[in-house]
Structure 1
Amino acid sequence: MTHLFSRRAALQSVSAGFGYLAFAGLSSMANAKTPTANENPLSPKPPHFPAKAKRVIFLCMTGAPSHVDTFDYKPQLNADHGKNGRYGGKLLGSQWDFKQRGDSGLWISDLFPSVAQHADDLCLIRSMHCDQPVHPAAQTQMHTGTAQFVRPSIGAWTLYGLGTENDSMPGFISLSAPAGQSNSYGSAFLPAIYGGTPINAGVRGGGGGMARRFGGGGSAVPDIENSRYTSTQQRKQLDLIQSLNHNKLRRDEYQPGVEGIIESYELAFRMQDTLPELMDVSGESDATLKMYGADGGATERFGRQCLLARRFVESGVRFVEINHGGWDHHTNLSNDLPNRCNEIDKPIAGLLKDLKQRDMLKDTLVIWGGEFGRTPAAQNGDGRDHNNKGYTTWMAGGGVKAGFSYGETDEHGYAAVQDKCHIHDWHATILHLLGLNHEQLTYRYAGRDFRLTDVHGNVASDIIA
């Protein structure tokens, strides 16, 4: 009798059959309805108490702007120009005039002529101070409350506390985040879904391509669309992957990483339709583009980012951060500082005007500031060194007092001396304006309850309208 198969061939065929059965099982799983969570972790959540602000736009000036040349008027510094400073070095008076602006009479430098027109909307905090005199650590503390450990960013805490109002968009977006600073928008030990989504948003890539491409052909959101598959095909592919992820969850009771992947995949699928449409500003009027300075020149990049920020928060995004670098002026202050201010002045004024005319400024908290300030003494002849002892940030809208100045530095602008506002106080105040008690907004991790302000922080109640 002739055997059609050898013993080895028969065993090979049988073992392959197990693979076919497994594949058939996976295919049936893909066609089955994907399990869903009982609750979307990004769903809107009630605040601890009635909120003044519903959303935040944080204009982050990386490198630390000089407060004594912009928003902290120090006539005595000019009077003592060239004299020995209290802490070493020769005092350097400001080269730019300050004037009282608006009905409120806030002192603002000529470096910000457009923002100065909105003086009556601003709340200047001129008594900021933090613990870190170096950029990376101060940036980390400004965003997370600490420089020693990896902690959730303020945007992640906000999203964790309040959720978002658009389930097809990230609740927290970071525009043009500096390379290597993922802690500034990260979620750390919070579930991954609360982390920020970095978007590389810059100038036009040509034509109407704002929706997907920016700055020299770089993708704003890599692979936001897959042209090789239809939406239906992608949904089937995702259902298969999600079914495997859900099976993993059923086998292992606690898998936060897997939960984060499931939620992120679903959000990314929904974003394919929503995000490109929001990032396409071709439907905005020429007047709007001009108002933001987004129609060309030095203001175009930041102007388009400010316009995108308005479009994002209008669609329900909870927290948007716009990063603008180049403020580290150890030298060449005379030329570089006016250039940096010029790049952002008109766009910020346009943002404030646009939010106000849309009746959104009243519940949108706009924040401007860097990681610390600069010294009143000169460095390298035409520069200023780091100064974490006293500096200025400002807020507008979102329930803060308008046309108001809070706190003071000393006569030369070196250190905060009145109504001092530490970075923990700043964080506590921002959360308070959002209706969140910074002492109650906690997350249990490694056996203890963590919060943005650690065991510190007092709300600067005097700035709240």
Structure 2
Amino acid sequence: MPEFSRRSFLGAMSMGAIGGMLPQNLQAAGVKGLHHKPKAKRVIMLFMAGGQSQLDLFDYKPDLYKLAGQELPPSVIGNQRFTAMTKNAKKIIASSKFKFNRYGSNGIEMSELLPNLGGVMDDLCLVKSMYTESINHDPGKTMFCTGTELPGNPSMGSWLSYGLGTMNKDLPDFVVLPSAYWSGKTNVQALYSRLWGSGCLPSKHQGTSFQSKGDPVLFLSNPKGVSPSVRRRMLDTVGRLNKKHFNELHDPEIETTMAQQEMAYRMQTSIPELTDISKESKATLDLYGPEVMNQGSYARNCLLARRMAERDVRFIQLFHRGWDHHSNLPTHMDGQCRDVDHPTAGLIKDLKQLGLLEDTLVVMVGEFGRTTYGQGKLTKDHYGRDHHPRCFSALLAGGGIQAGISYGETDDFSYNVVDKPVHVRDLHATMLWQLGLDHHKLTFPFQGLDVKLTGVNPANVVQGILA
């Protein structure tokens, strides 16, 4: 235990921050490190922000074609919440415009909009029984990324960085890749840095967001007139000052600052090498589709995710926005699927051919699903759907997950889960388990609570999808 001066002790007490004076190894009493042999080493999270319509992509309900235009029975809805957009409106059933095809050895049904993903169905696990409590976008995304609807908690990638540590010395443990969006997209909600923040964990575990245009990481390049040798001398001088400051205050955030400055220096070399795709073969680029040549596109980010996986980045999170289709869903859905179908399938194929899929867990999911009843003008070619937390779908691949299976079922209206429910917390627990972590044991003491990703509510590893 370090000795503190009377001045520093009273200063910390006046700020109510005596905990901040303790060295990190004394604050972090939570169990870290592997709890059992892992099946995965890293995660690529493909987050479809806005809420994909499971009815139009993953959850085929042929009987709804006969019921289209009728009101959804009150017995199906029960006491569930609605958004303000449809609370007082009639709940008129809108069947999907799109055909469904059977894919893979087990003939799993999926939309005609996803032919490339259908082509790798034997490598995928389709979970149709996801559910959550969040009915609006911000709490839904916050819940999925941090385990709770309340802002300010550690994100998934931060927990993995904290619990497992780094696998490389030249790149961050946790990288975020938001896709650029084009003028044709509507209802694109903002992304907040707290979705990849470290919360109460030390700030060195927060995500590093890459920019969709210009330099991938802000302020990484040296200013004009500053050479690498000058930058090195500056860092050495600042490092000595920071070390003196740390020896006086014993604040672990000072050590974090020192480590991040050194990481930034190394990233001046590693990031340009990472983002230079000029040496990728034409065959590899073709896996991701033509948009791979556009910086900031979802396709380019999928390729960068594979390159990061090769370099042992622990957690790679892609955000693709624009799935909030309250009107004209068929047109918007068609465009969204063109964005993601080819590149996502290409990512799976690329990881597999490089031997990386076996120990890389890939998850494709949004914050919730969409309603059976429609919004706006209801015709075959023009309808929308409201937010729906009670059932939605996720795709998983690699990392010890069973391949070529469909898991869980919803009712005849794709409105309620009727078999093998999987809460967002269950998915979190499963992801941690595949990485060798027990969600009960990976904790961090903060304000009298042992904080954990799955919170204080029940969460279970989904054994039925494990290989």
Q: TM-score, normalised by structure 1?
A: 0.84
- The equivalent of 1:250 in structure 2 is 247
- The equivalent of 1:270 in structure 2 is 266
Contact 2:211 2:217 (C-alpha < 8 Å) held by counterparts:
yes
Contact 1:444 1:450 (C-alpha < 8 Å) held by counterparts:
yes
- The equivalent of 1:61 in structure 2 is 48
- The equivalent of 1:73 in structure 2 is 60
Contact 1:299 1:343 (C-alpha < 8 Å) held by counterparts:
no
Aligned-residue identity in percent: 41
- The equivalent of 2:369 in structure 1 is 373
Alignment of 1:199-218 (within 5 A): 199-201=210-212, 214=213, 218=214
The CA distance in 2 between the partners of 1:363 and 1:78, in whole Å, is 41
Helix, strand or coil for the counterpart of 2:302?
A: helix
- The equivalent of 2:425 in structure 1 is 424
- The equivalent of 1:406 in structure 2 is 407
- The equivalent of 1:362 in structure 2 is 358
Alignment of 1:109-148 (within 5 A): 109-148=111-150
The CA distance in 2 between the partners of 1:153 and 1:300, in whole Å, is 23
The one-letter code sitting in structure 1 at the alignment partner of 2:195 is: S
- The equivalent of 2:20 in structure 1 is none
- The equivalent of 1:187 in structure 2 is 198
Contact 2:113 2:334 (C-alpha < 8 Å) held by counterparts:
yes
Residue 299 of structure 1 and its aligned partner are, at CA, apart by: 11
The CA distance in 2 between the partners of 1:71 and 1:119, in whole Å, is 12
Helix, strand or coil for the counterpart of 2:63?
A: helix
The CA distance in 2 between the partners of 1:309 and 1:49, in whole Å, is 26
The one-letter code sitting in structure 2 at the alignment partner of 1:246 is: K
Inter-CA distance 189–450: structure 2 relative to 1 (3 Å threshold): same
The CA distance in 1 between the partners of 2:102 and 2:282, in whole Å, is 32
- The equivalent of 2:394 in structure 1 is 393
The one-letter code sitting in structure 2 at the alignment partner of 1:434 is: L
- The equivalent of 1:458 in structure 2 is 460
Contact 2:142 2:151 (C-alpha < 8 Å) held by counterparts:
no
Residue 221 of structure 1 and its aligned partner are, at CA, apart by: 1.2
Which of the two has higher C-alpha Rg? 1
The CA distance in 2 between the partners of 1:72 and 1:164, in whole Å, is 38
The CA distance in 2 between the partners of 1:183 and 1:51, in whole Å, is 28
1:205-230 CA distance string (max 9 Å, x none): xxxxxxxxx3xxx3321222215222
The CA distance in 2 between the partners of 1:339 and 1:295, in whole Å, is 13
Helix, strand or coil for the counterpart of 2:459?
A: coil
The CA distance in 2 between the partners of 1:153 and 1:329, in whole Å, is 26
- The equivalent of 1:289 in structure 2 is 285
**Tell me, which stretches of 5 or more residues in structure 2 are unaligned?**
1-23, 78-89, 180-188, 378-382
- The count of corresponding residues between Structure 1 and Structure 2 is 408
Helix, strand or coil for the counterpart of 1:417?
A: strand
The one-letter code sitting in structure 2 at the alignment partner of 1:104 is: N
**Tell me, which stretches of 5 or more residues in structure 1 are unaligned?**
1-36, 202-213
The CA distance in 2 between the partners of 1:155 and 1:431, in whole Å, is 11
The one-letter code sitting in structure 2 at the alignment partner of 1:228 is: G
1:141-165 CA distance string (max 9 Å, x none): 0001111241000111011111121
Helix, strand or coil for the counterpart of 1:282?
A: coil
- The equivalent of 2:231 in structure 1 is 234
Contact 2:33 2:437 (C-alpha < 8 Å) held by counterparts:
no
Residue 49 of structure 1 and its aligned partner are, at CA, apart by: 0.6
The CA distance in 1 between the partners of 2:290 and 2:170, in whole Å, is 26
Residue 47 of structure 1 and its aligned partner are, at CA, apart by: 1.7
- The equivalent of 2:6 in structure 1 is none
The one-letter code sitting in structure 2 at the alignment partner of 1:247 is: K
The CA distance in 2 between the partners of 1:141 and 1:52, in whole Å, is 25
The CA distance in 1 between the partners of 2:201 and 2:52, in whole Å, is 31
Contact 2:175 2:207 (C-alpha < 8 Å) held by counterparts:
yes
Helix, strand or coil for the counterpart of 1:440?
A: coil
Inter-CA distance 142–170: structure 2 relative to 1 (3 Å threshold): same
Inter-CA distance 273–446: structure 2 relative to 1 (3 Å threshold): same
Contact 1:293 1:299 (C-alpha < 8 Å) held by counterparts:
no
- The equivalent of 1:196 in structure 2 is 207
Residue 454 of structure 1 and its aligned partner are, at CA, apart by: 1.0
The CA distance in 1 between the partners of 2:249 and 2:293, in whole Å, is 55
The CA distance in 1 between the partners of 2:385 and 2:312, in whole Å, is 40
Residue 180 of structure 1 and its aligned partner are, at CA, apart by: 4.5
Q: Which moved more, 1:127-136 or 1:84-93?
A: 84-93
Residue 320 of structure 1 and its aligned partner are, at CA, apart by: 0.4
The CA distance in 2 between the partners of 1:360 and 1:281, in whole Å, is 19
Matched, 1:280 2:276: yes
- The equivalent of 1:172 in structure 2 is 174
Q: TM-score, normalised by structure 2?
A: 0.84
The one-letter code sitting in structure 2 at the alignment partner of 1:92 is: A
Contact 1:299 1:344 (C-alpha < 8 Å) held by counterparts:
no
The CA distance in 1 between the partners of 2:292 and 2:461, in whole Å, is 41
The CA distance in 1 between the partners of 2:290 and 2:439, in whole Å, is 37
The CA distance in 2 between the partners of 1:350 and 1:135, in whole Å, is 28
RMSD: 1.9
The one-letter code sitting in structure 2 at the alignment partner of 1:69 is: D
